[in-house]
Amino acid sequence: MKQSENLEIMKTTAQSLSISVAIYTTLFLLIASVAFGSELKPDINNEVATPEIVFEEEEYIDDIPFDTQAIAEAYLLNETMNVEFDFEEEAYIDDISYNTYEVARNYKIEKDLKNVFVFEEEEYINDIPFNTEKIFNELFFTHYYKK
């Protein structure tokens, strides 16, 4: 007797399960058609009319330029900029005296010393023994190396 009761319960459960599946499938199709703007059109060729979901055509609008590389670069830049770095405080060292004026003046002098002056050959004058290049070198180097 118990076996026949179990068999009867299983038949009843299977029938109610089949009905539940049919009801939920129909509800799902109706909700999908409303939510996604589609229509249910029965297929006329089949003996059993099964609904076919037909979605409406949407117009393509190209109003948003989409550049994947630019978006990725912007994302990576944003991620990089949001990283907080923890720098240790450095001790102030005041053992090097630094005078910007002196450094700039010495740099200019060294730069001028590196210039190579090309002198053109002078016309020979026999009455005055005078070498302009020799005088310039003596005066220039003596004057600037004293400082």
pLDDT tens, the chain, 147 aa long: 566 666 677 677 878 888 888 898 888 888 877 766 655 555 555 566 667 788 888 887 777 777 888 888 999 998 888 878 788 888 877 776 778 888 888 888 888 878 777 778 877 666 666 777 888 888 777 766 665
DSSP 96: S
C-alpha torsion 26→32→38→44, nearest 10: -20
**What residue ranges do the domains of the chain occupy?**
2-66, 100-146
C-alpha torsion 40→44→49→55, nearest 10: -20
